[in-house]
Structure 1
């Protein structure tokens, strides 16, 4: 399915979520990713997977775990407050809305006015109509870098720029697992969006399968692979509904050592498949366990814009991986602000680690 982060399932638009009890501080993902046009009527929904609670001891647990991204040369959260955030993406300073920034700004107004792009949200048109460029009009894309991997930033009409910097904590950890394995490692990246996680895994030595329901996102990801000079690395780019792909891999007996999945609250697949996180996440998590290799390394779940505590996905992951040993650690991904030193929470996560 499609996976924009604010509302995403790979790249899909998403209405407010249902389910859950307590509002979380996780930042609302502002925009859905671009959605491929659907020409035909939605396919009938597959009958629900019959789930049975797994037998065996629950994995050990570590919580809350806070994974923090600090300012660096590639990306920095410079300041935040009054419902906005001031960010540095490579050469550009950008202002975007941030509903969680209910505090006051630390930097003076002149710093906030000295920017290259401001997301205004004053039009519903596609393209760059939502962006204002106070200095020089900028092109749609610009060169960016993460830990030596080049890729393209892009001013989308949904206020995203093609990368979610808070995920760097997961990327670095995954790269370490791949290198330390000292053996071939297969990685499945569901709801892969523009491919940074896939590129990090491939550079570390893994064979990667990248799945996203948006043709536009897949095209962008492949372009990023070329810009990163990683076209010699084994990455399969697959435009498909994430649930359907995982179900097919289960039937075929294909397996992976590491699985990443980053579903939206709500979304639609390329053939109109409907995704509701609280309804469909348990089944997808169960399938992910079923398509692990005999010696798996990790399964990483990230959840944006949901009205639930990380305890909810923590309990789901522990139940799902009962009998497999290892540990489940859950908590929040945060970005540390440069000016005021405050922490901005971006999402919830839960990950099962074999050791």
Structure 2
């Protein structure tokens, strides 16, 4: 069923953007300009430099959809607006209806295939027309800041995507950072992010492969890291079967705990909205105990200030003995 545009749409967008007006002054030009809690669950707006990304969570007819994009351009001042359609079934049809869900060209303005935007002064390469995910999950900004402040000497960044956590760890003084992902494409993108900050790293710091396989390999080699970042998808299919965060996170946490150095930290994350934080903490700590380790919650982090009322992202910094 299609959804009409709220009558006060422009005012809502303007108020939401005004709440983020201080972020560019803090060196952050990639952020969420309007969250679902501010739009009655209908859409979100993300900004990367002078480009905006409109994500719809309800079915809009083409006319109102274009009107919405025009309002986004008007309020944000964006030179281009890209569209992402995110119906409930999007995760199931993303591979077969990619052009529909994530049109490669903007619906408003000129094409901007690549944009360099800042997070806390750190540049990241954003590709607004590339896919549903454009290069940086801005809700994890507080978690990346935590890693920069607590990196230690050795960091393992699993499910690395474009290596934001790995880059922050290097900028925080880590001597060795391994970025691990099952996609060569995003690891290459991560290397471009490193280059933007002038950070040199050998190719062997960008590891293509299955996270479980590599965690087992590191454990056999008795490799240990001061921080291990676990940021898996909520749902995925792999060679070992189907992964579900609500069912399998404890097993993953156990595998990761085996390669955390004594006194080190496991940064456990999930963006599964259906998993309450207390349950997530119990599962993660049960995994730590299953690896024969002791640990406690040192810090609890969530989404950034540009995600008001959001409860989907849970981040636990677990300190292991």
Within 5 Å, give how 1:239-258 maps onto structure 2. 239-258=208-227
Any conservation in 2 of the 1:187–1:201 contact (CA below 8 Å)?
A: yes
Mapping 1:174-253, distance limit 5 Å: 174-178=147-151, 185-206=153-174, 207-232=176-201, 236-253=205-222
| Cα shift readout 1:258-284 (whole Å, capped 9, x = no counterpart) | 010111122234x57543334432122
Q: What pairs with 1:1-355 in structure 2 (closer than 5 Å)?
A: 72-73=23-24, 74-79=29-34, 80-82=38-40, 83-98=42-57, 111-114=71-74, 115=78, 116-121=80-85, 124-125=97-98, 130-131=103-104, 133-156=106-129, 158-178=131-151, 185-206=153-174, 207-232=176-201, 236-269=205-238, 274-296=242-264, 298-321=265-288, 324=294, 326-330=296-300, 332-336=302-306, 342-353=308-319
Residues 308 and 197 (structure 1), Cα distance of their counterparts in 2 relative to 1, 3 Å cut? same
SS in 1 for 2:160: coil
Distance in 1, matches of 2:275 and 2:21, equals 26
C-alpha spacing 1:203/1:234, structure 2 compared with 1 (3 Å): farther
TM-score of the pair, normalised by structure 1:
0.66
For residue 136 of structure 2, give the secondary structure of its aligned residue in structure 1. Answer: coil
Q: CA deviation at 1:248?
A: 1.1
Q: Say how many residue pairs are matched.
A: 268
Task: Report the alpha carbon displacement of residue 126 of structure 1 after superposing the two structures with TM.
Answer: 5.2
Counterparts of 1:204 and 1:334 in 2: how far apart (Å)? 20
Q: Is the 8 A contact 1:127 1:157 kept in 2?
A: no
Instruction: Choose between structure 1 and 2 for higher RCO, CA contacts under 8 A separated by at least 6 residues.
Output: 1
Superposition TM-score, scaled by structure 2 size? 0.72
Extract unaligned runs of 5+ from structure 2. 1-19, 59-67, 87-95
In the alignment, the residues of structure 1 paired with residue 301 and residue 201 of structure 2 have an alpha-carbon distance, to the nearest angstrom, of 36
Change (3 A) 1:217 1:257: same
**CA 149–284 in structure 1, closer or farther in 2 if over 3 Å, else same:** same
Is the CA contact (8 Å cut-off) linking 1:335 and 1:346 kept in structure 2? no
